[in-house]
Structure 1
Amino acid sequence: MTFCNKLHLILFMFFLISIDPAKGRNKTDYNVSRISHLLLKDADAVIRKKNITFNVSDRKSAYSKIVTAVTIFNQEGRSFSDLEIPYDRFKKIKNIEGCIYDKDGELVKELDENDIIDVSDVSNSSIYDESRLKKISLHYQMFPYTVEYSYEEEIEGYVQWPVWVDQETLDAVEYSNFVVTIPSELKLRFWCSQDSVKPTITLKGDEREYVWESKGLKKLSNDVYGDNYEDFATVVRIAPNEFEIDDAEGDMSSWKTFGKWYHDLCKGKDNLPDKVIQEINQLTLAAINPLEKIEMLYKYLQKNNRYVSVQLGIGMWQPYDATYVYEHGYGDCKALSNYMVTLLSKVGIKAFQVLIKSGNARFTFIKEFPNQMFNHAIVCVPMEKDTIWLECTSTTNSCGEIGSRNENRQALMITPEGGVVVRTPKSNSNKNVQIRVTNASLKSTGDLVLATSILWTGNQKATISSFVEYATPREIEEWISKLVTAPGLNIGSHKFIKDEKESVNKFNLNITLLRYGTPGNTRFFFQPSIMETRRSVPTEVDKRYSPVKFNYPYIDIDTVRFTVPDEFIVETVPNNVAVNFPFGKFYSKTTVINNKSILYERYLEINNYIIPPEEYNEYRRFIQQIVAADRAKAILIKRN
């Protein structure tokens, strides 16, 4: 055999070895040494790749493949080893694969079928639900290591297409891409949060391919960028014009047509037995105006119904009819909202369902880009001089209160003519108030005996109502322990009171703080600010890129009257403090009364939902002054 022939044979054998699947899986680009040093700074994990491929077959069928790989450096990054894949009867999951690679990129473990746990994705408030989860956890004992997952989705019937976020967390990203393929006869609509980011579009036969990609994204700081990816990442949303789910054809080319599709799903769902119609008309007979009728029927809904998730087939979209809700006494947000609209219609009041993206984070509503982004339904009742909004899943809200998770955001009102973009109301700080009045008796031992009364209104009331309604006695005690800033807490009696007439909640509490003060031979030191004081200042940064966000504007008012032990008189109290910024104000005032008692007053107001990034340094100074005021001490001295 000639030298050339031998060389060809060697090269050919090397080629066969190199393409052997078993061998190939051991050789990857996951060697940790390949990661740029720019991505390694302060890294708990680095996303090596996140690839989403989405292929549209027709207006009801699609296929996607997701591949992720994350290098994990320490315990804080171990959550990336876990994967949850949701699915239902419209989405089938196939070909799940997983591997672990060591720091050198060598394969050390492959996913076994027994590692995949299939569970129902049903909350405690669900009784009928087809949603399920495939849960996987692949862990390795030696850091750093890399976890790679891949799986495929077959979709039959869709309303919502995937969203691509190039940096979903603050962690560094080596490479991420989004590949969308669609038949040429179908239209792909897309929206990108960054105007400068454009897809690469390629015509491939009778299909068009769109590709977005990002690479080399450094780890971000929460103090600089916040924790909402919409404030720092590139976000790409895609949507169809025409779609079909469970034989229900729809048009998403405009908010009007999308709303019309949902309205048509609800047709015929507004029937009630005659006895119910007679009952509610009799109930509202004494009402002197439409508002009183709305209040009566809202209380009727709350008294007789509860929220239960019902997610079957197109039931994820189509509500159960009003008669079903009446007979069973429960429904999900869609069913309860439809029921409320039906009740109002039977007494001559026109109301509409509203689809909304509910949650603490206010995601961008893109008016020029109709797409499915909603997860909740509420009710809008237009009035001659005002509009009433109703959260129908709550048994504790007052009429007109929709809660911080629904307020101050755009939504889609469903009318017979189609969808109409509306904005839910904002709340003012003087609507969301917490008032605490405390009588505090100081003992010469340093103990402090407290009798506190707390009152909440608006969103502060709604938040505490939701908590108290489901909290265990132990959770209540844990919550009480967070109200004060000192150790040595002994909890006495406590009682929660719901005042429906005044639309407030109250809480009476008796506690003792052991050795709250520090008695010396001649002097006694203690901190007048007792309840939930500010303990830390936001981190100083060169430049802030995202706003500081609040769930709602609010006011907190504290009044504490301290009774001084007989053997002491007041020597020193904290200076009065007054701080005023465009986004809020704070003051604290300490008054000595006849050397026998001290009156401490504290007021904190945040008057908006966001503080722009350019005002971050002012916000930081604001908090600095509050922390200093809250830490200030009073001094008592023994009588001669």
Structure 2
Amino acid sequence: MRAAIFLCGFSVLAATSCFAKSSYPDWVQSSIDVADTVLKYEEDYDAAVLLEESHIEYRGRGEIEETVRRAFHVFDRDGREFATLGIPLSSDEKLTKFNGWIVYASGKVERLKKTDLVEIAVDRDKLKSESVMLQLDRSESMREGTVFAYEYTVSRNQIFLQSGWCFHWEIPVALSRLSIEIPKNWSLQSHLFGADFAEKRVNGSVHIWEARDLDGVEEEEFQPFRSLITGNLVYSVYPDESDLSRYPYLVFRDWKSVAQHMDAVHSERIVAQTALRQKAASLAAGSASQWETVSKICEYAQSVNYLAVAIDLNRGGGYIPEDANRTFETHAGDCKDMTALARAMLKAVGVESYAVAAQIGKDSWVHEEWASPHAFNHCILAVPVGPDAPERSGVVEHPVYGRLLIFDPTTKDAAPGVLPHYLEGRKVLVCSSQDESLLSLPIYGPDVNRVVRHVDAEIDGFGNLIGSLEESNYGANAQRLRKLYRKLKRDDFEDLIRGWIAHGTREAAIEELVCEDFFDENRFDLKVKFAARRYARIMNRGEMLLFSPVFLSRIQWVPPVDEERKTPYVIGSRHLEETLSIALPSGYSLDAFKEPQDLETEFGVFSMELAFGEGRVDVTRQNSQRYTTVPVANYGDVVDYYETISRAETSKLVFKREG
């Protein structure tokens, strides 16, 4: 089968020579000509990138033209997802050219035109958006050995002169090329991260970076941010003084200039009018301290309905909030709007605050060396607080402002003073005229992100398990559970808890479920009465009783050992503390068990103690892990750690009938 595919790939090369040059341009032929260099990957991947190229020309007066070319070689049907594309366009962008080609293994060529693109509104469920996506999906046309290629040109007017480039894909790349053309007397500064393999050359006013024959960067469980394991380029273009005087470019040479700019565009939007000032005053009335005032206003900002808005992005619209008075009237807005509303209300009652630029999601392009608002996709709030503010994860120490409350008004799952878990460890920028560096937010330790659980259970004469548990969740655990509790219907949430119990038992049923949310403490409690049929095995006509002493949150999955790890392994902070008491049916005594092995590693500590009394088993279990990024070379240590815990938690206790 593999040999057939190998020959199929080369049939493209043979057949295409029969076609006229007009079938497709030379760059597509050049991409096909290097197809043999990626065939070595077909055993491990479903497709490969033959070419990814972008040529960006800065023409002055804000005019920019970008031409993108991509070609994919599809090895098999599972690689057909790469025969799709999406071209995002904002109000200041225009698609001036599009052409595409499907080159089949037989040599047949299918031409794609601009009219084949389908325009889809971005965020169709939102109130307003000026962005669209031009989409094309030809995945169903893909066969073994097919090449899918396209090129398009977009022109835009833009005040920003910074961007980034990733050389890697999740599939192999034969050639990745970025070229930037700038006017005479302009300059360019770039930084490479994890891309020492990239070659740069300068041809007159054109700066070119190339990388060849790159392995795919696959998605693996518990890996770092993608930008930390791929080769990336970031750059800034600087016009000369003449062009700067003729067009309002935004130029950033350091983080201080970014902070000052963002502070300026936000400050003019937080001037409260009468209705907003009155609302702020009513919220602050009766507060016993500044912290209480700040908390009330933050909680009000949280009540605003989240609404994504994408307007005039190339001219800074993505960073400019709606006027706070308008957000107050509509009670709707996005992250920057909600932040501006909170700041306007705080200002109205005499409390200083700042907008904070952050990045959330599965990646991070925030680098100390590259000062750019493009590094961020989220806006939150910072408030200097006094000694009356509690010691909480969301109150951090800043080198300029002292104690700062870091608060995200878009979350409904974390109270003021609690750092949302998705901001842990992120580098953020406090936007003010005084700040000139990034601030690193803390990462929850196991003392914050913990679960404390007590279980009382009983096994009857048929091996059925009946019990109750009380559990307190703190930190990220509380936020995630709270979010599910609020989002799901009662029956669905109960199904979730039942599935969790059934994961370590069989045929679990929930007899009673009580949830208590201690929101201000970032704590979420569960009280559950449950039953599980045939949890313990009755053997030899009742002569023996066999069961595992751990059934909740036990580690049954361990990192795979049969595959070579390619990226570092990230272990998150957590702490589990559990006491479990299981009453046995009468007439049984301990026959055999294996003493659990305690563990102490650089990233985690595990212990489990068993005590056997008359007619019962008492289990004390603790597992405490510290946030650690484990290098690929030490992946075996991670596997050993989890395998040892899994053996302890899934081991069986054997009891025999007395007499």
For residues 99 and 476 of structure 1, do their structure 2 counterparts lie closer, same or farther at Cα, with a shift above 3 Å needed?
A: farther
Distance 1:573 1:181 in 2: 72
Normalized against structure 2, the TM-score is what?
Answer: 0.84
Q: Is the 8 A contact 1:225 1:546 kept in 2?
A: no
Matched, 1:58 2:60: yes
Offset of 1:619 from its aligned partner? 2.4
Deviates more, 1:624-633 or 1:439-448: 439-448
Deviates more, 1:186-195 or 1:483-492: 483-492
Distance 2:530 2:276 in 1: 49
Q: Is the 8 A contact 2:51 2:173 kept in 1?
A: yes
Distance 2:458 2:238 in 1: 68
Distance 2:531 2:445 in 1: 35
Alignment of 1:220-231 (within 5 A): 226=223, 228-231=225-228
In the other structure, the counterpart of 1:306 is 305
Q: Is the 8 A contact 1:414 1:420 kept in 2?
A: no
For residues 32 and 565 of structure 1, do their structure 2 counterparts lie closer, same or farther at Cα, with a shift above 3 Å needed?
A: farther
Letter matched to residue 233 of structure 1? T
In the other structure, the counterpart of 1:627 is 646
- Alignment counterpart, residue 559 of structure 1, candidates 579, 583, 586: 579
Offset of 1:548 from its aligned partner? 1.9
Offset of 1:526 from its aligned partner? 1.6
Letter matched to residue 201 of structure 1? V
- Alignment counterpart, residue 365 of structure 1, candidates 352, 364, 367: 367
Alignment of 1:529-540 (within 5 A): 529-540=550-561
In the other structure, the counterpart of 1:341 is 343
For residues 532 and 66 of structure 1, do their structure 2 counterparts lie closer, same or farther at Cα, with a shift above 3 Å needed?
A: farther
In the other structure, the counterpart of 1:133 is 133
Offset of 1:195 from its aligned partner? 4.8
Offset of 1:389 from its aligned partner? 0.9
Q: Alpha-carbon deviations, 1:511-537, whole Å to 9, x = none? A: 433323222122122222212322233
For residues 190 and 141 of structure 1, do their structure 2 counterparts lie closer, same or farther at Cα, with a shift above 3 Å needed?
A: closer
In the other structure, the counterpart of 1:4 is none
Alignment of 1:111-510 (within 5 A): 111=112, 115-122=116-123, 126-139=126-139, 140=141, 142-159=143-160, 161-169=162-170, 171-193=171-193, 194-195=195-196, 197-203=198-204, 208-219=205-216, 226=223, 228-241=225-238, 249-302=249-302, 304-313=303-312, 314-370=316-372, 372-383=374-385, 386-416=403-433, 420-472=437-489, 476=493, 479-480=496-497, 481-482=499-500, 484-510=503-529
Q: 3-state SS of the aligned residue for 1:238?
A: strand
Q: 3-state SS of the aligned residue for 2:235?
A: strand
Distance 1:261 1:23 in 2: 44
Letter matched to residue 440 of structure 2? R
For residues 386 and 510 of structure 1, do their structure 2 counterparts lie closer, same or farther at Cα, with a shift above 3 Å needed?
A: same
Distance 1:348 1:150 in 2: 55
Distance 2:201 2:174 in 1: 20
Q: 3-state SS of the aligned residue for 1:630?
A: helix
Deviates more, 1:249-258 or 1:359-368: 359-368
Letter matched to residue 183 of structure 1? P
Q: 3-state SS of the aligned residue for 2:375?
A: coil
Matched, 1:603 2:633: no
Offset of 1:431 from its aligned partner? 0.8
Deviates more, 1:350-359 or 1:488-497: 488-497
Q: Alpha-carbon deviations, 1:124-179, whole Å to 9, x = none? A: 5x32222222222112363242222322222222436442211122x222111111
Offset of 1:241 from its aligned partner? 3.8
Deviates more, 1:439-448 or 1:574-583: 439-448
Matched, 1:579 2:580: no
For residues 382 and 367 of structure 1, do their structure 2 counterparts lie closer, same or farther at Cα, with a shift above 3 Å needed?
A: farther
Q: Is the 8 A contact 2:58 2:182 kept in 1?
A: yes
Offset of 1:184 from its aligned partner? 2.0
Q: Alpha-carbon deviations, 1:210-233, whole Å to 9, x = none? A: 111111223456669947443443
In the other structure, the counterpart of 1:86 is 88
Deviates more, 1:145-154 or 1:418-427: 418-427
Distance 1:69 1:580 in 2: 50
CA RMSD of aligned residues (A): 3.2
Offset of 1:277 from its aligned partner? 3.0
Distance 1:466 1:225 in 2: 22
Q: Is the 8 A contact 1:225 1:232 kept in 2?
A: no
Q: Is the 8 A contact 1:166 1:234 kept in 2?
A: yes
Deviates more, 1:178-187 or 1:567-576: 567-576
Q: 3-state SS of the aligned residue for 2:100?
A: strand
Q: Alpha-carbon deviations, 1:254-310, whole Å to 9, x = none? A: 2222222222222331222335434434543444432232223222333x4232222
Distance 1:603 1:51 in 2: 52
Distance 2:299 2:373 in 1: 34
Q: 3-state SS of the aligned residue for 2:309?
A: strand
For residues 79 and 486 of structure 1, do their structure 2 counterparts lie closer, same or farther at Cα, with a shift above 3 Å needed?
A: farther
For residues 33 and 284 of structure 1, do their structure 2 counterparts lie closer, same or farther at Cα, with a shift above 3 Å needed?
A: closer
Distance 2:263 2:366 in 1: 24
Offset of 1:395 from its aligned partner? 2.2
Offset of 1:458 from its aligned partner? 1.6
Matched, 1:548 2:569: yes
The percent identity for this pair of structures is 16
Q: Is the 8 A contact 1:354 1:412 kept in 2?
A: yes
Paired positions, count: 614
Normalized against structure 1, the TM-score is what?
Answer: 0.86
Letter matched to residue 311 of structure 1? A
Matched, 1:520 2:573: no
Offset of 1:579 from its aligned partner? 0.7
Q: Alpha-carbon deviations, 1:35-61, whole Å to 9, x = none? A: 355433422222111111111122522
Q: Is the 8 A contact 2:582 2:617 kept in 1?
A: yes
Q: 3-state SS of the aligned residue for 1:63?
A: strand
Letter matched to residue 415 of structure 2? S
Q: Is the 8 A contact 1:17 1:23 kept in 2?
A: no
For residues 113 and 441 of structure 1, do their structure 2 counterparts lie closer, same or farther at Cα, with a shift above 3 Å needed?
A: farther
Deviates more, 1:24-33 or 1:524-533: 24-33
Letter matched to residue 143 of structure 2? M
For residues 541 and 347 of structure 1, do their structure 2 counterparts lie closer, same or farther at Cα, with a shift above 3 Å needed?
A: farther
For residues 599 and 53 of structure 1, do their structure 2 counterparts lie closer, same or farther at Cα, with a shift above 3 Å needed?
A: same
**Structure 1: segments with no counterpart, 5+ residues:** 1-14
Distance 1:91 1:288 in 2: 52
Q: Alpha-carbon deviations, 1:298-336, whole Å to 9, x = none? A: 22333x423222222254221112212222222211111
For residues 326 and 518 of structure 1, do their structure 2 counterparts lie closer, same or farther at Cα, with a shift above 3 Å needed?
A: same
Distance 2:422 2:221 in 1: 25
For residues 542 and 71 of structure 1, do their structure 2 counterparts lie closer, same or farther at Cα, with a shift above 3 Å needed?
A: closer
For residues 440 and 144 of structure 1, do their structure 2 counterparts lie closer, same or farther at Cα, with a shift above 3 Å needed?
A: farther
Distance 1:389 1:586 in 2: 33
For residues 209 and 599 of structure 1, do their structure 2 counterparts lie closer, same or farther at Cα, with a shift above 3 Å needed?
A: same
Deviates more, 1:42-51 or 1:437-446: 437-446
In the other structure, the counterpart of 1:8 is none
Deviates more, 1:504-513 or 1:427-436: 504-513
Deviates more, 1:573-582 or 1:272-281: 272-281
